Amino acid sequence: MSRDFNTIGFAPGSQSKKWIDDVCYEMDTETDTLTMTTQEDIYFFCLQNGAPYLINNWGEKKVRFVGKVFGKLALLLLISLILYYFLRDRIVFPYNMTWLFILLTIGVIIFSYFVYDQLTSVADFYINSRCRKCGKDFAYEEFKKPLTRKVSTSENYEITTTKYHKCRYCGDEDLRIQTNYIDCKGKKEKLTKNACKCCGKENSMKEYRRPDVHTTYDTVETIRFYKCLDCGYQAITVENVYSPGPM
Ligand SMILES: [Zn+2]
Ligand SMILES: [Zn+2]
């Protein structure tokens, strides 16, 4: 597990933007709204280039069906592995074969899940890349990196992702915008009163609103909001705790 920690200050009434790595933090001190923007990587999956071949030969339904079969196989083997864990005292494998059996099962689970994920992606890609104007298949391509914008107020946390697609045949542009609201307000810390970096007054920085605690599959990000009781100077702390992640 690793951790990084940053503090960003915003002078009263300012609209300044600050960068940490590839995230832009912008605090509107009037409306108490924090906006974070990031450019994401363009989506690509392993079988993407092979998708037209698979769809032409099998069709969307068969690709999806075979994907589901592998998905169910992965799930079934995972359940067997869990069952084995509980019944391990009653099931005896020949000498030294237990670990071989377990490793083999884990290998097949990973492989089956990979096939399920890729074939599902092929079928979805086929549906999503058909041009709505000229009707050609595998036509839309992302021509610009997707943009993620997170807007945090004391009440809400909104994530908007914009993807930019263009048809490689007729040039039709298709903007895909997805907005999610998440409930991620955590608890304030009990005692945190520090000196203000702007006016220098001791014990004047107070955590004035609930933090945003945003969890993804391998990271927990906590953003805390502080304000100087004396001069109105604002600061946020951004803490990221990374877990080792999936295998
Ligand atoms: Zn087109
Ligand atoms: Zn101050």
**pLDDT tens digits, one per residue of 167-181:** 999 999 999 999 999
- Rounded CA separation 105/107 (Å): 5
Query: Is residue 238 within 8 Å of 8, Cβ to Cβ?
Result: yes
- The rounded Å distance from CA 149 to ligand 1 centre is 28
- Rounded CA separation 23/6 (Å): 12
Share the mean pLDDT of the chain: 91
Pairing outcome for strands 234-242 and 17-20:
unpaired
- Rounded CA separation 152/35 (Å): 6
- The rounded Å distance from CA 183 to ligand 2 centre is 31
pLDDT (0 to 100) of residue 192: 64
- The rounded Å distance from CA 234 to ligand 2 centre is 8
Ligand whose nearest atom lies closest to the CA of 9? 2
Q: Quickly tell me which residue has 């079969």 as its tokens.
A: 69
- The rounded Å distance from CA 118 to ligand 2 centre is 54
- The rounded Å distance from CA 7 to ligand 2 centre is 15
Question: At 99, is the pLDDT very low, low, confident or very high (cuts 50, 70, 90)?
Answer: confident
pLDDT (0 to 100) of residue 144: 95
Cα angle, residue 36 at apex, residues 148 and 46 outer, rounded to 5°: 30
- The rounded Å distance from CA 228 to ligand 1 centre is 55
pLDDT (0 to 100) of residue 247: 43
Provide the token pair at 86. Answer: 């509980």
- The rounded Å distance from CA 119 to ligand 2 centre is 57
Ligand whose nearest atom lies closest to the CA of 167? 1
The DSSP line for 213-224 is: EEE-SSEEEEEE
- The rounded Å distance from CA 241 to ligand 2 centre is 29
Which helix H or strand E contains 73, and what residues bound it? helix 60-86
- The rounded Å distance from CA 129 to ligand 1 centre is 10
Partner residues linked to 232 by β-bridges: none
Mean pLDDT of the region 122-143: 96
Which helix H or strand E contains 188, and what residues bound it? none
- The rounded Å distance from CA 176 to ligand 1 centre is 16
Ligand whose nearest atom lies closest to the CA of 229? 2
φ, ψ of residue 206 to 5 degrees: the values are: -120, 140
